[in-house]
Amino acid sequence: MDGNLNMIGYGLAAIGPGVGIGLIFAAYISGVARQPEAQSRLQSIAILGFALAEALAIIGIALAFVL
């Protein structure tokens, strides 16, 4: 079974977005816990932040296959 060093690099690169997405949803959950009626407003903001942080991981996996 042979592997590729790119994939190890991608695994390391995915740590950053992983931490970022965790922070985003932690803030979302505590925001909803404090003020449940704000959920609908917070939800789209949280999903947007999640999408932006995830974009880094996504670019990483695309480059891991391309490079």
Partner 1 sequence: MSGIGSALLPQGSIRTEGFTPPGPADFDLPPIGGDFGTFHAFGQEFVLGVTKPMLQLVLSAVLIFGFFYLASRKRAMVPGKLQFVGEEAYGFVRNSLGRDIIGTHDYQRFVPYLFTLFTFILLNNLFASIPFIQFPTFSRSGMVYGLALMSWIIYNVVGMKKHGIGGYFKLQSVPAGITGPILLLLVPLEFMSNIIVRPVTLALRLFANMFAGHLLLILFALGGEYLIVEMSLAYAPVGVLAWVLFLAVAFLEILIQFLQAYVFVLLNAMYIQGALADEH
Residues that bind partner 1 (CB under 8 A): 1-3, 40, 44, 47-48, 50-51, 54-55, 58-59, 61-62, 65
31 close to 42: Cβ distance less than 8 angstroms? yes
Tokens at residue 23, please?
């922070």
Tell me the closest approach of the beta carbon of residue 13 to partner 1, in angstroms.
Answer: 13
Residue number, 27 or 61, with CB nearest to partner 1:
61
Tell me the closest approach of the beta carbon of residue 44 to partner 1, in angstroms.
Answer: 6
Tell me the closest approach of the beta carbon of residue 22 to partner 1, in angstroms.
Answer: 16
Query: Position 50: which residue type?
Result: F
